[in-house]
Copies of this chain bind each other. A is one copy, B any other.
Amino acid sequence: MGGRFTDELWEATADLRAAIDDLEFLTQLGEGSLAPEAFRQYLEQDALYLAGYGKALAMLAVRAPETEAVAFWAGSARTTTVVEAALHEDLLTGGGLPPATSETPEHSPACLAYVSYLIAAAATEPYPVAAAAILPCYWVYAEVGSRLARTAKDVLAANRDHPYARWVATYDAEEFQEAVRTARDLVDAAALDASPKERAAMRRAFAIATRYELLFWKSAFDLEAWDHPLEGIDVHHPV
């Protein structure tokens, strides 16, 4: 090819990313018109997601072959766990959103499936495949964030405290975009040493994770819930 391996990954998932771009959730998020319930569900689920994402990143650090990669994934695990959790804490308690429906919300079906998939990949797949699975959460977010940042400017101009716009600004931050570039570089480097079988698995993993990105946002807009929530189960039994 000559090109970067991650360019291949990106092109192979064009349809999925087009579907993401078409999501009503993102359109309304950028315009500031999203139902507060959907935004709250999204943030609650994102906090649960990030806790697990941090663990997947830490597992990547355990398995990474080079010092630079170990340091990046471990640092990302820390950032994910601390900084982003704090952001959401702030947003969830900061007003402007409806109150939480539960003190300990359960992972939604899409959230549990996505985060479990990433941790499972990090625990069982070769490092290059696990790294490819991790990448869409960075990269797709960064793309969506950059795009929304433009529309968000108008929203912020009208209301500088608008919670959606503040969220969007975070993912457009240069620091985050820089992390995305490093993550891409590491996946490209991993692809160079990977066998053809592993590169095929990298493509699958990247596509699966991108598809989960789509489902994650969609499920927040749909206020997706379990037919049988756990809430009714645990309480009958004393700890």
**Can you list 13 pairs linking A and B with CB atoms under 8 Å apart?**
A58-B58, A58-B70, A59-B59, A59-B62, A61-B77, A61-B78, A62-B62, A75-B75, A109-B113, A112-B117, A116-B117, A116-B119, A194-B195
Per DSSP, are chain A's interface residues mostly helix, strand or loop, or mixed?
Answer: helix
Residue A36 interfacial (CB < 8 Å)? no
B-contact 0/1 string along A174-206, CB 8 Å cutoff: 000000000000000000011111111001100
Q: Does A211 contact B (CB under 8 A)?
A: yes
List A83-99 residues whose CB lies under 8 Å from chain B: 85
Alpha-carbon separation in the docked complex, A226 to B232 (Å): 29
Is A54 positioned at the interface, with any CB of B under 8 Å from its CB?
yes
> Does chain B have a CB within 8 A of A225?
no
User: Given A75-B75, A226-B211, A230-B208, are A239 and B200 also a contact pair (CB < 8 Å)?
Assistant: yes
Complex CA distance for A97 and B73, rounded to whole angstroms: 33
A233, CB-defined interface residue at 8 Å: yes
Cα distance, A225 to B51, chains bound together (Å):
28
Contacting B at CB under 8 A, from A121-154, are 122-124, 126-127
The interface residues of chain B lying within 8 Å CB-to-CB of A113 are 109, 112-113, 116-117
Q: Are B70 and A77 in contact (CB under 8 A)?
A: yes
Assembled-state Cα–Cα distance A86/B126 (Å): 26
CB contact under 8 A between A59 and B123, given known A71-B82, A237-B8:
yes
Instruction: Decide if A19 is an interface residue (CB 8 Å cutoff).
Output: yes
Closest CB of chain B to A168's CB: distance in Å?
A: 24
Q: At the interface, yes or no: A222 with Cβ under 8 Å from chain B?
A: no
